[in-house]
Structure formats: C-alpha cells, structure tokens
Amino acid sequence: MKKTILLAAFAILGLVSCTNEGTAVNTVSSMKTPQMENFDKAFKSLGEPQNRPTEEERKRNTSELSDRRKALLVPASKELILSTGVTESELMRKTGGDMSQIIVWATQIYMKKSEDIRNNIKAEN
C-alpha cells in the first residue's frame, strides 16, 4: 500500500515537473543579456525616420554605413564588448577607437552568444 502511494506520489511529481517544463520555454529572446538586447535595438533604430540615410548619404558611391549611422551602433557595441570582461583600455588598444572595428567585434560576440543560446535550447529540449 505504502509502495503504491509512493509510486503515485512520484508519478504526480513527474507529471507536475513535465507541466512546469512547458511554462519555462526558453527562447533566444528570453535568454539574451541586456547588452545583447541593446545591441539589437541599435540595429533596429537605423530604420527610425531621423536615422534613415540622408539625401547626401544616399548619393555616395559606397554602401559602407555612414559614420553618422555607425555612431548610432557604437555605444551598444562597446557595452556588449565590455560585458564579456574586456576592459575599456583593452577595447581602445585593440580597435584604436575605430567605429567599424568596434561594431564588427561586437557583432562577432553577439553571434557567438546567440549560437550558444541556440545550442543550449537544443540541448535542453
């Protein structure tokens, strides 16, 4: 009798834990760090009316993002790089303060982190 009750208790525990599993669905967006979120927002902000390319920027011969618009991505990029434990002086030494290098470095960190999150989700399921 005791055994049956125990078994039933474990079965219920098992069921409960399975139900909880559903509520704790992890998605890439829910597992992102605040620094990653800000980095995303910075890229999205390029579409806001005041951040769209100006007439002059459109007439340029290159598709390289203009310095004005790169500057919109730099604060979030720096934040993301520093969040990995890199110091401010190391950041300056490695990039020389070059906006493209800062953004590219942050993008590489971002993609690595997204990949890790995706792999974690896969491993959990």
Partner 1 sequence: MKKLLTVIFIAAVSLIHAQNLKLIVNNYSTTFDFHGTLSAHNFGGGCYPYVTTNSPAMVVVPANANMNNGNELVYANFKDQYVNSLYPNASWMVQLSAATSIVRAWNHASIAPGGVISANTKWSSSQFQMYYAGTSTPEPSFSGLIGEPQDPCTGAISNISTPYGDVEWFNITTGNVDYSYLQIY
List the x/- string, 5-44, binding to partner 1 by CB under 8 A: ----------------------xxx--x----x-xxx-xx
Candidates 72, 83, 86, 107: give the one binding partner 1 (CB under 8 A). Answer: 107
**At 97, phi and psi to the nearest 5?**
75, 5
Tell me if 122 contacts partner 1 by CB under 8 A: no
122/125 Cα distance (integer angstroms): 5
- End-to-end CA distance of the chain, in Å? 36
- Whole-number minimum distance, CB 12 to partner 1, in Å? 35
Tell me if 47 contacts partner 1 by CB under 8 A: yes
Tell me if 93 contacts partner 1 by CB under 8 A: no
Residues 6+ apart with CB under 8 A from 100: 70
Residues 6+ apart with CB under 8 A from 72: 42, 45, 46, 51
Q: Which residues bind partner 1 (CB under 8 A)?
A: 27-29, 32, 37, 39-41, 43-44, 46-47, 52-53, 58, 61-65, 69-70, 98, 100-101, 103-104, 107, 110-111, 114-115, 117-118
